[in-house]
Amino acid sequence: MAVSSKNIYTPSVVSFIPLLYVSWADGLLSPSEVKIIKRRISSLENLTPDEREILLKWSDPKEWPDEATFKHWMELMKDARADLDDESIDSVVELGMHMASRAQVGDQDLLQQLRESLSLLSSELHIPGLAKFRALGVRVEEVRSKWSFSPGSLQKVLDAENQEVIERLKLLLTDPSFQQVPLRIKEEYRLQVLEWVKILARQGYGALGFPKAHGGKGDILQYAAVFETLSLFDLSLAVKFGVQFGLFGGSIQNLGSKKHHDLYLPPTGSADLLGCFAMTETGHGSNVRDLETLATYDHTTQTIDIHSPTEQAGKEYIGNALHASMASVFAQLMVNGECKGVHAILVPIRDAEGKVLPGIRIEDNGYKMGLNGVDNGKLWFDHVKVPRENLLNRFGNIDSEGIYESPIASPGKRFFTMLGTLVAGRICVAKGALGAAKVALTISIKYGLKRRQFGPDDNQPERLILDYPSHQRRLMPRLAKAYAAHFALNNLIRVYAGQKKEESRMVETMAAGLKSYVTWFANDAIQEGREACGGKGYLWENRFADLKADADIFATFEGDNTVLLQLVAKGLLTDFKEEFNAGGFMASIRYLASQVGDSFTSINPIYKRKTDADHLSDPAFHLHAFRFRERKLLYALGSRMRTMFKKRITPYDVFIRTQNHMIALAKAYVDRLVLEQFQEAISGTMDDDLVEPLSKLYTLFALSTFEVNKDWYLEQDYVEGVKTKAIRRSVDRLCMETRLDAEPLVDAFGIPDGILSAPIAIRK
């Protein structure tokens, strides 16, 4: 909106400016605040239609005022205060009325009505004084804490470029509209989650990853940050949000063309069009390439016939299935009797009144272990016909003559390219799991800083349980791993957002590995956190019940973790961008053999026994150890496979015989990847006060990870027992030192009490 330095508004409109300025100063009007403001504006009988329109627009989260408008408001307020004798006036009501009276309004009834409405609004919205808002975007400065570093400064490092959108969302999630209550009847819980999704859409969060031309910001980094922030609050909400905007919307954005974008992305982003992502089938699970659902093109009618040939071909575990009116259905595309591989087709499944359409059968998956706020269901199709145009045709199109065409000749490459465009969902699953782990660690560590148990004798106070070395051992290495995972995922989403075509396989490998790593870690951290809170952790009110039940499935959906690690290993072995086949494998193995020699595995005997503190805390030592494990496993696996191929064992049998070796390699790869990103995060930290606590946390992560794998290192003669003992003692010491910073380290996750919502973690 273009503005000038002069007052271009009527007295009625200008009277609201101080109140709206303060309301918007934190970048958010919550649903409750919007309702209150709109109700008051609508009740003002003397407003003209134009005045009411502009005030309602300023109260709409989708139309929130831009920087130029804020600046103009500030200039008007400064100008009005300049002619006041009493500079101490700090009431938005009095300032607003003064600004209206300067326009020499003669209608006293209008002035009285405005004063009453502004007074009521100020009270209902709990508006603070103007002193805190002397300039646009100024917030109360953080008071330096008793610790050696500021949790707020570290939070800025963690949130990075997404800080503003994260803070706005946290404010929204503490609004009364998002009040958490135990809803054990799945239908009630699902309706609540659906309403929350619609609120988020109205606030503009759903479309964040969509192009600007279709109502979004084209910012996948912000979208992923929103997904993780939602997971701090409620994982059912995060998952349904991800299905609607990430999977369904993402399939349209990444697999469709402009006609699909123009028609479907705007209503998807606003949640006016609810959709689901129908890929997984009962009979095939992770084996997407061999799905049974058929999509047969009929050129005489220019339609595609969608059909489930067997009961096992039904789509299962489909989120949003009970609320959606459209599905992205993945099926084998048949054109002129020839199978063109798996493609996605948009299929309407309900009419405008919500009735299931003919030929569609939908069943509720029923109650699950967790995530009962997500409406998972099963779908079958009985020769459902849709227009040819419903084929999402970025990678495969049927033209008006009925001819199939694709920019990718190989069906296999086409299939993997299609799946690769959806890798953002896998990243978001990892970020959601990490959010759950952060909540569990925050609750258990804060409880450990409150709960006392036992003392030296009857005359001494009981000891905080986090002061016990055994308790530190349970929680501090996991806190370090949470930070390590955070930096690794932040790097991954940036790489994904800026990837070049030739980097796609690398990104897919990283995403598969980190998804497995973080989701397994989350389940481990939640369980350990629950046990660390004793009986209190077993109470529903303290969040662990839902965290355990809801996060457990993250290790399975968007790819079973064990299967994903096999894909990681294949990606490492096939350094060339080729599919898994005997010829490609042999070429890869020959390449590896030329790159990794015996000289790498030759370790100096002195190095094996080196135990001084400087060496054990040296990032160069950590990096060498982690790379050694990865490369040794890679070389050994390649050699095993080469030997088997020489014996003419089939590629499939080779794959079966080396599965466990492949998983070990993938885990070593991810450990190395995460370590490197933690190192880079510290080297890029600009605040000197943060380097020391982050370095301790990093060293704890590195050595505790080494300790977990010490049996392998001993077997490989990389270290001797004297060194592993020294590493164990170093981990104990680092746990004790990290405990001193435990509270600010979890505070830096920035989880407000209203979102944390666990009584045992909230100081009173």
User: Between these two residues, 395 and 86, which has the higher pLDDT value?
Assistant: 395
Please state the rounded mean pLDDT for residues 346-353.
96
List, for residues 556-602, the tens digit of each pLDDT value. 988 899 999 999 998 888 753 343 344 455 555 555 555 544 444 44
CB 67 within 8 A of CB 75: no
pLDDT at position 2: 39
Residues 6+ apart with CB under 8 A from 644: 653, 654, 657, 658
pLDDT at 133 over 50: no
Tens of pLDDT, residue by residue over 449-461, are 998 887 666 666 7
Which tens digit of pLDDT belongs to each residue from 375-384? 999 999 999 9
One-letter amino acid of 615: H
Question: 0.75 cut: is pTM over it?
Answer: yes
pLDDT at residue 220, rounded to an integer: 93
Q: How confident is residue 26, by pLDDT bands cut at 50, 70 and 90?
A: low
Summarize the confidence of residues 80-84 as an average pLDDT.
68
What percentage of the chain reaches a pLDDT higher than 70?
87
Write down the pLDDT at residue 137: 31
More confidently predicted of 176 and 248: 248
119 vs 661 pLDDT, higher one: 661
Report the range of poorest mean pLDDT among 177-181, 507-511, 535-539. Answer: 177-181
Tell me how far apart the alpha carbons of residues 488 and 129 are, in angstroms, rounded to a whole number: 42
Answer whether residue 33 shows pLDDT above 80: no
Biggest alpha carbon–alpha carbon distance for the chain: 100
Give the per-residue pLDDT at 141: 29
pLDDT for 4: 43
pLDDT at site 587: 55
Burial environment of residue 85 by CB neighbours within 10 A (0 to 12, 13 to 18, 19 or more): exposed
Tell me: pLDDT of 764 over 70: no
Q: Pick 622 or 42 by higher pLDDT.
A: 622
pLDDT at res. 85: 56
pLDDT tops 70 at residue 7: no
Of 124 and 53, more confident: 53
Q: Which of 46-55, 63-72, 307-316, 392-401 has the lowest mean pLDDT?
A: 63-72
- Contact present, 321 and 376 (Cβ < 8 Å): yes
pLDDT (average), residues 538-554: 96
Q: pLDDT band for position 87 (50/70/90)?
A: low
Q: What is the pLDDT of residue 92?
A: 77
Question: 25 pLDDT band (50/70/90 cuts)?
Answer: low
Mean pLDDT, range 723-750, rounded to an integer: 95
> If phi over 0 gives left and psi between -120 and 50 gives alpha, with beta otherwise, what is residue 16?
alpha
> Does position 47 have pLDDT exceeding 50, yes or no?
yes
For residue 243, the one-letter residue type is V
Question: Tell me, what's the pLDDT at 453?
Answer: 82
| pLDDT at residue 461, as a whole number | 75
Q: Tell me how crowded residue 155 is: count the other CB atoms within 10 A of its CB.
A: 18
DSSP strand pairing (326-335 vs 275-278)? parallel
pLDDT at 571: 87
Neighbour tally for 512: CB within 10 Å: 27
- In the chain the first and final C-alpha atoms are separated, in Å, by 45
Length of the chain as a residue count: 764
> For 434-443, what is each residue's pLDDT tens digit?
999 999 999 9
Highest mean pLDDT among 288-292, 314-318, 418-422: 314-318
From 2-16, 35-49, 295-309, 632-646, the region with the lowest mean pLDDT: 2-16
Q: Of the ranges 219-228, 267-276, 640-649, which one carries the lowest mean pLDDT score?
A: 640-649
135 pLDDT more than 50? no
**What average pLDDT does the chain have?**
87
> Can you tell me the mean pLDDT for 503-514?
91
For residue 560, give the nearest of 487, 659, 490, 701 by alpha carbon. 659
Q: Between 650 and 266, whose confidence is greater?
A: 266
The tally of CA atoms less than 13 A away on the side-chain side of residue 547 is: 36
| 3-state SS class at 348 | strand
Walk me through the domains of the chain, giving residue ranges and CATH numbers: 11-132 (no CATH), 152-266 (1.10.540.10), 274-414 (2.40.110.10), 424-756 (1.20.140.10)
- Average pLDDT for residues 71-77, to the nearest whole number? 78
Helices (H), 174-324: 186-202, 220-233, 235-241, 249-255, 258-269
Average pLDDT over residues 484-492: 97
Tell me how far apart the alpha carbons of residues 406 and 411 are, in angstroms, rounded to a whole number.
Answer: 9
- Which range among 78-92, 385-399, 687-701 shows the weakest confidence by mean pLDDT? 78-92
Long-range Cβ contacts of 77-82 (<8 Å, 24+ apart): 77/17, 77/18, 77/21, 77/130
Phi, psi of 278, deg, nearest 5: -95, 85
* Mean pLDDT of the region 681-697: 93
pLDDT range class, residue 139, cuts 50, 70, 90: very low
Band the pLDDT of 6: cuts 50, 70, 90: low
Interval 354-377: pLDDT, tens = 999 999 999 999 999 999 999 999
